[in-house]
Amino acid sequence: MATIEQAPLDMEKLEAFVFRAVDEVGATLNTALVVMGDRLGLYRALAGAGPLTPSELAERTGTAERYVREWLNAQAAGGYVEYDPESGRYTLPPEQALALTDSESPAYLPGFFQIALGSVIDSPRIADAAQTGEGVGWHQHNHDVFEGCERFFRPGYNANLLDSWLPALDGVVEKLERGANVADVGCGHGSSTILMAKAYPNSTFTGSDYHAGSIETARQRAREAGAENATFEVAPAAGFGGTRYDFVTMFDCLHDMGDPAGAARHVREALAKDGTWMIVEPKAGDRVEENLNPVGRAYYGFSTLLCTPASLSQEVGLALGAQAGEARIRDVVTSGGFTRFRRAAETPFNLVFEARP
Ligand SMILES: C[S@@+](CC[C@H](N)C(=O)[O-])C[C@H]1O[C@@H](n2cnc3c(N)ncnc32)[C@H](O)[C@@H]1O
């Protein structure tokens, strides 16, 4: 019988790995603490307030001092707030204040933590599914996944969609200004739909998603925003209504679909001859080794807990994963009958593709 020789243990490497894990457990717990600080208004009360004691912060937020003191110490240990031992006061530095409280900033983070926490909360279900190979649908998740997704993606769309992504497409802005017929497929809570609808009042927008709960929220958001040229329907990507669209968009959802090639065929049928399909996908290289970095790590994590099970829960279950990369997206798109495909724009977090018949 062949014996497998064990590599000798490097005790220094072992110790370094254990201490790195300590840091990561702290970071994992901090996901819940950030959501707690966001929900209780702790960051908002600290922002711009100068140094505060735990009891001052508790008083300003209507919370219990003992909890707030412990939360502040965890935040200080993680570098989220600064602690002054002389005065016993805690300060939120301006950079952290911006990233944790300014929902208009592209650096806004609470949604990222909220969707991560929601994903972790549902992870026992994913572990069960991994034993059988069954899927877990997007609609089967908890509220933090839906709302966290909306709050996570919206700052990036606000920062890039109108100023960089749409202008990078051939002739689309001119059409939107004149008045175009647009379908935003897999729109979730509709943040991309509403952003475009407000910017282009001569155009009409139909957001669709297979998840009825998300569409209900999208309708409410559109009413609140006064986006009268945006309507919403519950429909799968392979069956959304309407024809001769000038422009079809998919934001961070093609890889979540069970049958993205079927969706591509339907987009091709629903699109006008000279129409454009814009596909926004998570930034990824084609090869695994290109994605072994912090952004890839977060996306592979979401992909394991959300995207891959979502696709497996649907017919075909292609399970592209959130790190599919350009080559696989191109294959899916061209299999749907599109003859032109190019990368039109990118950010550190997203790839933006233009597909034309
Ligand atoms: C990661 S979320 C992105 C939502 C939204 N586009 C955004 O950027 O905020 C993925 C969305 O795809 C939707 N989805 C998944 N499979 C779908 C399908 N086959 N047809 C339509 N929508 C689908 C989910 O319901 C979910 O709203």
Query: CB-hemisphere CA count at 13 Å for 124?
Result: 2
**What DSSP state is assigned to residue 69?**
H
> Measured from the CA of 307, which atom of ligand 1 is nearest?
1
Amino acid at position 198, single letter: K
Backbone angles phi, psi at 182, to 5 degrees: -125, 140
pLDDT at site 1:
58
Ligand 1: residue whose CA is nearest its atom 16 = 257
pLDDT recorded at residue 2: 62
Distance 239 CA to ligand 1 centre (A): 14
Ligand 1 site residues (CB inside 6 A) read 138, 149-150, 153, 186-188, 191-192, 209-211, 214, 236-237, 251-253, 256-257, 310, 314
pLDDT (0 to 100) of residue 79: 97
Q: pLDDT 10s digit of each residue in the chain, 357 long?
A: 566 778 889 999 999 999 999 999 999 999 999 999 999 999 999 999 999 999 999 999 999 999 999 999 999 999 999 999 999 999 999 999 999 999 999 999 999 999 999 999 999 999 999 999 999 999 999 999 999 999 999 999 999 999 999 999 999 999 999 999 999 999 999 999 999 999 999 999 999 999 999 999 999 999 999 999 999 999 999 999 999 999 999 999 999 999 999 999 999 999 999 999 999 999 999 999 999 999 999 999 999 999 999 999 999 999 999 999 999 999 999 999 999 999 999 999 999 999 999
Distance between CA atoms of residues 92 and 245, nearest Å: 48
β-sheet bridge partners, residue 208 = 185, 233
Separation between Cα atoms, residue 164 and residue 182, nearest integer Å: 18
Note the maximum CA span of the chain.
Answer: 76
Angle at 298 between CA 292 and CA 303, to 5 degrees: 95
First-to-final CA distance of the chain = 60
Return the pLDDT at 217.
98
Model pTM?
A: 0.96
> What's the Rg (C-alpha) of the chain?
23
C-alpha–C-alpha distance, residues 316 and 94, integer Å: 48
Atom of ligand 1 nearest to the CA of 157: 8
Q: How do residues 66-112 score in pLDDT, each as one tens digit?
A: 999 999 999 999 999 999 999 999 999 999 999 999 999 999 999 99
Reported in sequence order, the residue ranges of 40-149 that DSSP labels E, i.e. its strands, are: 82-84, 89-91
Task: Tell me, in angstroms, the distance from the centre of ligand 1 to residue 100's CA.
Answer: 26
Tens-digit pLDDT profile for residues 127-186: 999 999 999 999 999 999 999 999 999 999 999 999 999 999 999 999 999 999 999 999
